[in-house]
Amino acid sequence: MSVILILLGLILLFILVLVLRTILFKSKTSYYEYSNDEERVDEYSKKLSKMVQFETISDAAKPEPDKFRAFHEELKKLFPHLFKELEYVEIDGNLLLKWKGQDSNLEPLMLISHMDVVEASGKWKYEPFSGYIDENKYIWGRGTSDTKCSLMAFLQASEELLIEGYKPKCDVYLGSSCTEEIGGDGAPKIVKYLKDKGIRLYMLCDEGGSLVENPIGGVKGQFAAIGIFEKGYGDLKIIAKSNGGHSSTPAKGTAIPRLAGFINEIEKHNPFKVKFSKAVDAFLKNVAPYCTNFWLKLVMVNEDILKPLLKVVMPKISSEAAAMLKTTIAFTMQKGSDGYNVLPQTAWVSANLRYIPHQKMDESNKLISDIAAKYGLETEVIKSNNPSKELDLNSEQYKMVLKTINNIFPGVGNLPYVVTGGTDARFYGEICDHCVRFSPVMYGPEQLKAMHGIDENINGRTLPMAVDYYKYLIKAQEER
């Protein structure tokens, strides 16, 4: 009995320590203010509207470099000083501008954002390529938030600096691919061009993160979500073969039930390791002061002690939080027979994987293949690539980005996080060790929901600060 009482006392003491640490932990609030500079809001909104009106859908089955070359001509009208004073390179519809700096011995800064967009089907509030600007200063249309807003912002920032007579300390490259949305070879072609010239970048800035509101349940406020690394990508095809036949006399173990058994096992029993990375540790440390839920705050404040519990809690907070801790798998397509009364000789499902650094593509693919083999299934790897290199949170490049964010958006919290989607930045790893994934625009729930969906839009009042962000970042190179 005394042993039980001692154990209970120790447990209560442990809980008390956790509670006290949480109570004593300093809370924070954040804020983000949209611009009231009507002249700048209107100017930038009109430029973005013009860019959106130019349809730049990319299609893997039908490359159209001439369409993107024509888009370059539109950019020349919108940003005349850039194309007059900078070196312009066009590579199969992809855009590259070189702004020569004062010191050619310094490694260059590069800013990128893709010009292509996804298709715009469905019924929209305003025509998807109208670039309509409403009375509340929202710009509507495909590409407003993904990501012509960032492209407009850094082109405009450079245009304004040129007009001021500013010359950067290092070379600055401005790039935009026309194949990002289809995972095409646009960015690799730009990388090859730079690599062939022996250029290694000091820092690359792309999309992937942004300014966001209320990033996860129990956390309130506005944050600069900075992508630290990008998960890898894989498409697998899981194939079941059988003798087929007539559905009136089905045998056991035909193709579709075996596929169903395989899928059921994966769905019920996660085969991938859950592990905390430096990015996740930083995420939890930075988000803890903003927690509005006491018990969630307790877990995050005491993350160093409660990691085993967090491995269980985080997946329950949101699917985004779960995806930061492990390789994920999603079943996306399937095919059986073409008749209701026909047993297929071959049936298959496709699986999309996003690989985490601690369990890369080879290990993750083998796990899936081994489980599939238990059900007599074959696995075919359609495409697969590993995660990107992780950005060093102690690097001068990351600190430079933080300083820029803190100056332009002084009220927001900084939130390192894992990019679960795909960006062009992944191709630049061979010429750059410091790839930052952050677009300096505010995406509320409405913008995030509409991205790649219907009624894509962005608040024009976020654009002036986005332009200022890039101007500050370019000038920050003087500190090197």
* 304 in a structural domain: yes
Say how far apart CA 310 and CA 291 lie, in whole Å: 15
Domain boundary among 385, 410, 427: 385
Residue 305 φ/ψ, nearest 5 degrees? -95, -35
pLDDT value for 217 = 79
Q: From the centroid of its chain, how far is CA 14?
A: 39
Q: pLDDT, tens digit, for every residue of 235-272?
A: 999 999 998 888 888 888 899 999 999 999 999 998 99
* 1 in a structural domain: no
Using 70 as the pLDDT threshold, list the residues of the chain that sit under it.
1, 317
CATH of residue 77's domain is 3.40.630.10
Q: pLDDT, tens digit, for every residue of 69-114?
A: 999 999 999 999 999 999 999 999 999 999 999 999 999 999 999 9
Whats the size of the chain, residue-wise?
A: 480
Same domain, 305 and 413: no
Same domain, 355 and 457: no
Same domain, 355 and 408: no
Same domain, 206 and 234: no
Residues 6+ apart with CB under 8 A from 313: 296, 299
* 184 in a structural domain: yes
* 218 in a structural domain: yes
Q: For residue 182, what is the DSSP state?
A: G
How would you class 16 by CB atoms within 10 Å of its CB: exposed for 0-12, middle for 13-18, buried for 19 or more?
exposed
Q: From the centroid of its chain, how far is CA 216?
A: 16
* 31 in a structural domain: no
* 5 in a structural domain: no
Same domain, 367 and 234: yes
Same domain, 225 and 243: no
Domain boundary among 332, 362, 385: 385
Same domain, 273 and 360: yes
Domain boundary among 385, 400, 427: 385
CATH of residue 343's domain is 3.30.70.360
pLDDT value for 167 = 97
Same domain, 212 and 257: no
What is the count of structural domains for the chain?
Answer: 2
Say how far apart CA 215 and CA 351 lie, in whole Å: 27
pLDDT value for 422 = 86
Same domain, 379 and 402: no
Same domain, 223 and 323: no
Say how far apart CA 352 and CA 330 lie, in whole Å: 5
* 342 in a structural domain: yes
Q: Which of 303, 135, 146, 280 is nearest to 216 (CA)?
A: 280
**Host domain of residue 316:** 230-385
Same domain, 100 and 224: yes
pLDDT value for 1 = 63
pLDDT value for 309 = 78
* 287 in a structural domain: yes
What are 37's two structure tokens?
């500079």
Same domain, 171 and 57: yes
The 3-class secondary structure across the chain, one letter per residue, is CHHHHHHHHHHHHHHHHHHHHHHHCCCCCCCCCCCCCHHHHHHHHHHHHHHHHCCCECCCCCCCHHHHHHHHHHHHHHCHHHHHHCEEEEECCEEEEEECCCCCCCCCEEEECCCCECCCCCCCCCCCCCCCECCCCEEECCCCCCCHHHHHHHHHHHHHHHHCCCCCCCCEEEEECCCHHHCCCHHHHHHHHHHHCCCCECEEEEEEEEEEECCCCCECCEEEEEEEEECEEEEEEEEEECCCEECCCCCCCCHHHHHHHHHHHHHHCCCCCCCCCHHHHHHHHHHHHHECCHHHHHHHHCCCCCHHHHHHHHHHHCHHHHHCCCCEEEEEEEECCCCCCEECCEEEEEEEEEEECCECHHHHHHHHHHHHHHCCCEEEEEEEECCCCCCCCCCHHHHHHHHHHHHHCCCCEEEEEEECCCCHHHHHHHCECCEEEEEEEEECHHHHHHCCCCCCEEEHHHHHHHHHHHHHHHHHHHHC
